[in-house]
Amino acid sequence: MTGLRYVYAVCRPFDAALQTQLTGVAGDPPRLLPHGDLVAVVSHVPEADFSEEALRAHLEDLDWLTATARAHQQVVDALTAVTTPLPLRLATVFRDDSGVRVMLEEREAAFRRTLDRLDGRVEWGVKVYVETEKTEQAGASRPAAPAPPAPKPVSGRDYLRQRRRQSRANEDLWSRAEEFATGLHTTLSGRADDARLHAPQNPRLSGAAGRNVLNAAYLVRRDASEEFVEMVDRTKDDVPGMRVELTGPWAAYSFAGENAGEGS
Amino acid sequence: MTVVERREIALVDLLDRLLAGGVVITGDVTLRIADVDLVRIDLNALISSVNRNVPSPFGD
């Protein structure tokens, strides 16, 4: 009864029950708040943690951010199993049920448009990495002209020649990477209803090996997903030095905005 | 479709979507995530906690 309302997603009414053991962001199971032709999926959260000021502080706390993001995702994921949810941005909070109802009413037309556009579709994430480490290591382990102990023009020339060879190999690698990523993106976009590019991930954050050169999301019909996944799978050995990773299916987070797909 | 089997989702992939995707609504308590200076998240904490290797779905 008390507390604020955390809204995960907006959906069309659906019959299926949500998993019973589902817990929301603050341990409160999500419930359905129907209004008109739409349903908001909400849970009750304590004001102490979700007021604007508290949120601001919490969002800079990695453990809190991680737990909240995962809980949010679990609820949206459970919804994805039974309907096509329109996910909201993390930490969308209202004072009470009537605040949520007002919001549903005010944005009804836009929600319906977006829900129609997303209906029966999921998002797939595709990332391409260039496995730079190998190249660099190969370069480094090569017995580079022994550290010049004295001015030795010969080894200097060898060194320059080697540098040139290396930088040409690198240029070659990057142009192949660009070509590969662009080609893959074009192919996959052709099989998707919409596509969106995310910023490449920082390897220090992702912990993934190699340099991320493509971080894309594709909106794909559920019944076309198997084919889409197979197509991604077929690219994996196409070009040496490139690694392709697939994530999903996700709810259509990257396509939830009215202008998703335009730009970027 | 076998790919649907779930692995632990990498936090970076999740944040790409939850902090940059989803419908942005200015509610009555809602603050705009974009306004929060996420850069101030302790980068070291982030790195050490996220630094599990994400296995490729193709098991290379």
Identify the pLDDT of residue A133: 55
- Res B3: pLDDT: 43
Using the predicted structure, report yes or no on whether residue A196 has a pLDDT greater than 50.
yes
- Give the total number of structural domains in chain A: 2
Both A181 and A101 in one domain: the answer is no
| Residue in chain B lying closest to A114 (CA) | B23
Q: Among A79, A102, A119, where does a domain finish?
A: A119
B39–chain A Cβ distance below 8 A for any pair: no
Q: How confident is the model at residue A153 (pLDDT cuts 50, 70, 90)?
A: low
Distance CA B3, CA B1 (A): 6
Contact A88 B25 (CB under 8 A): yes
Of A95, A226, A256, the CB nearest to B23: A256
Q: What is the mean pLDDT of residues A232-252?
A: 89
Return all residues near A212 (Cβ < 8 A) that are at least 6 apart: A127, A128, A129, A200, A201, A203, A206
Residue A109 and residue A61 in one domain? yes
Q: Is residue A258 part of a domain?
A: no
C-alpha to C-alpha distances, A100 to A40, A73, A92, A108, B27, nearest whole angstrom: 8, 20, 10, 12, 8
Establish if A131 belongs to a structural domain. yes
Distance CA(B42)–CA(A23), nearest Å, equals: 27
Of A61, A94, A119, the position where a domain reaches its end is A119
pLDDT at residue B59, rounded to an integer: 34
Evaluate if residue A144 carries a pLDDT over 60: no
Q: Give me the DSSP letters along A166-229.
A: HHHHHHHHHHHHHHHHHHHHHHHHHHSSEEEEPPPPPHHHH--SSEEEEEEEEEEEHHHHHHHH
- Neighbouring residues of B55: CB distance < 8 A, sequence distance ≥ 6: B7
| Average pLDDT over chain B, rounded to an integer | 57
How much is the average pLDDT of A128-147?
A: 56
> Could you tell me if residue A262 is inside a domain?
no
Question: Would you state the pLDDT for residue A100?
Answer: 93
At which of A77, A104, A119 does a domain end?
Answer: A119
Chain B, nearest residue to A234 by Cα: B58
* A42 in the same domain as A57: yes
* The pLDDT value given to residue B44: 42
- Contacts with A201 from chain B: Cβ below 8 Å: 12, 16
* Confidence class for position A45, pLDDT limits 50, 70, 90: very high
Do A249 and A126 share a structural domain? yes
Q: Are residues A187 and A201 in the same domain?
A: yes
Contacts of A62 in chain B (CB under 8 A): 41-42, 45-46, 49
In degrees, rounded to 5, the angle at the alpha carbon of residue A201 between the alpha carbons of residues A240 and A127 is 40
- Who has greater pLDDT, A26 or A123? A123
Say which of B12, B27, B36 has its CB closest to residue A201.
B12
Domain co-membership, A103 together with A37: yes
Question: Can the peptide bond before residue A249 be classed as cis, meaning omega within 30 degrees of 0?
Answer: yes
Q: Is the pLDDT of residue A82 over 70?
A: yes
Question: Residue B38 — pLDDT band, cuts 50, 70, 90?
Answer: very low
What average pLDDT score do residues A36-65 get?
Answer: 88
Closest-CA residue to B28 (of A41, A199, A52): A52
For the segment A111-139, the average pLDDT, to the nearest whole number, is 83
State the residue range of the domain holding A191.
121-253
A60-87: average pLDDT: 92
Q: What is the mean pLDDT of residues B15-30?
A: 79
- A181 and A207 in a single domain? The answer is yes
Examine the predicted complex and report whether its ipTM is higher than 0.85. no
pLDDT at A264: 35
Q: Is residue A128 part of a domain?
A: yes
Q: pTM (2 decimals)? A: 0.80
Q: Which chain A residue is nearest to residue B52, measuring alpha carbons? A: A207
